[in-house]
Chain A
Amino acid sequence: MTGDDKHLPLEDIHKAAGARFGAFAGWSMPLTYPAGVMKEHLHTREHAGLFDISHMKLFDVSGLEAVALLDRACPLDASALEISQSKLTFFLNEAGGILDDLIVTRLGDTRFMVVANAGNAEADEKHLRALAAGFDVKVEPLDRVFLAIQGPEAWAVLSRAGIETGSLLFMHGVEPRKNWFMSRSGYTGEDGFEVGLPVAEARELVAKLLEDERVMWIGLAARDSLRLEAGLCLHGQDITPETDPAAAALMWAIPKEIRATGAFIGADALRAAVERGPAQKRVGLKPEGRQPVRAGAALFDADGNPAGHVTSGGFGPSAGHPVAMGYVSASLAKPGTRVFADVRGTKIPVDISSLPFTPHRYRKG
């Protein structure tokens, strides 16, 4: 960790909770709490995990041409979003590569909330501001604490803390109070919420939530194992400026008409990539046995020819076995296909697996 890392506004609370810190995306972040990654992971799947994700950035995008800006910046049909509806989308480069993955939520006719990844927040802001110069629109980065409450009891613990989530469905977001943003979404595969709010109110909410024995602080280590089991991508690892949504198996996030006729940045390159068909595809990987296969491990086919590589890998506490994600040649991408991962010179059999490893339990209606 370097002294240049940014600090969370609630760092004192994490320290008091006994967190072990590490550097991530330029931030000093809680990696684990005394319960440990295994218990934290399982607790989230069974009860409610509380995550401080204030390293992520919220942007308020508003103005008469907010729709037009977002349609240019992202492979998105912003005008088709209903008010309070959220959508996973991307910033692409001209080559169709993924600069960042984002959640865009429509808050009004001419207002949207954009949630960006920590590591890309500065570049995203620059990118969006540069594009916005040609539109009648304002891009405002918000100063908020951002909390995720995830797990089957997330709605109940929020209710006890005085926040009714009521009829809010998965991938919808609202502003329940002044300067608050709350969406039913997350990065665990569970039902859950992400709440952006001013720091003083965040302290009150955290204190209330922690009074509830169903709530436990969860660090980045378990956040990573939860999202990996859920088959969700980490930008910088599973998706990068060198991978396009077709290779990343994320075309489902792009509406059909937009794929065909959208004028977003990277549209031509992406259409060409879809036309060609990706050389490699992102897949789930299930290593045989107990030994985890980690990011960076090379994959080989049965004849020993290079077949791809692992982009995320570890142990899935809920799955009960190692889990991984990576890219393989398109011809090997079918679930059940066996490849081999090189782990310190030993070839570990790995089966292509459908994602997620643990079923999503979103509240869709």
Chain B
Amino acid sequence: MATTYFTSDHEWLRVEGGIATVGITDYAQEQLGDLVFVELPETGKKLTKGDTAVVVESVKAASDVYAPVDGEITEANGTLSSDPSLVNSAATGAGWLWKMKLADESQLAGLMDEAAYKAHIA
């Protein structure tokens, strides 16, 4: 069963079988406004927590999305190349950004659950 975690940088991770699917929260997409481009990572790229994994670009500005934990990219959401607005319309669903194989599952313990995240943005 998948467990969903949240970060204070407004990302969500859905973890199942050692693989995390990562995206930005609805709150984050609302703050960014209409996205027009997503710079996706290459499969196989190794990331350390805090590295820039993806750059999302709105009409006005570019914003980094950081790796919330250590790991290796297993897949990027290629659909976003042709339709970056999916991140706005379905931030926690079809607008996911990348999947990564976790290097150290113990890092998940430092993340928030949904209730804690909701309190964080309240």
Contacts and interface: CB of A to CB of B under 8 A. Distances in A.
A14 interface: no
A291 B37 contact: yes
Interface string A203-225: 00000000000000000011011
Nearest to B58: A37
B48 interface: no
Interface string B39-68: 100000000000000010111111000000
Given A36-B34, A290-B37, A291-B39, A315 B55 contact: no
B34 A314 contact: no
A344 B60 CA distance: 17
A180 B23 CA distance: 51
A221 B51 CA distance: 29
Interface string A46-61: 0000000000000000
With a 10 A CB-CB cut-off, give which of B37, B58, B60 has the most chain A CB atoms: B60
A317 interface: yes
B15 to A, nearest CB: 28
Given A37-B58, A38-B59, A315-B57, A290 B33 contact: no
A292 interface: yes
A344 B33 contact: no
B34 A224 contact: no
Interface residues of A, number: 19
Nearest to A221: B60
B19 interface: no
A32 B33 contact: yes
B81 A317 contact: no
Contact of A317 (B57, B59, B62): B59
Interface of B: 33-34, 36-37, 39, 55, 57-62, 81, 84
19 contacts: A31-B60, A32-B33, A36-B34, A37-B33, A38-B33, A38-B34, A38-B59, A41-B59, A221-B60, A225-B60, A292-B57, A294-B61, A294-B62, A314-B59, A315-B36, A315-B37, A315-B57, A315-B58, A317-B34
Interface of A: 31-32, 36-38, 41, 221-222, 224-225, 290-292, 294, 314-315, 317, 322, 344
Given A37-B58, A38-B33, A290-B37, 9 more contacts: A290-B36, A290-B81, A292-B36, A292-B37, A314-B60, A315-B57, A315-B59, A317-B59, A344-B39
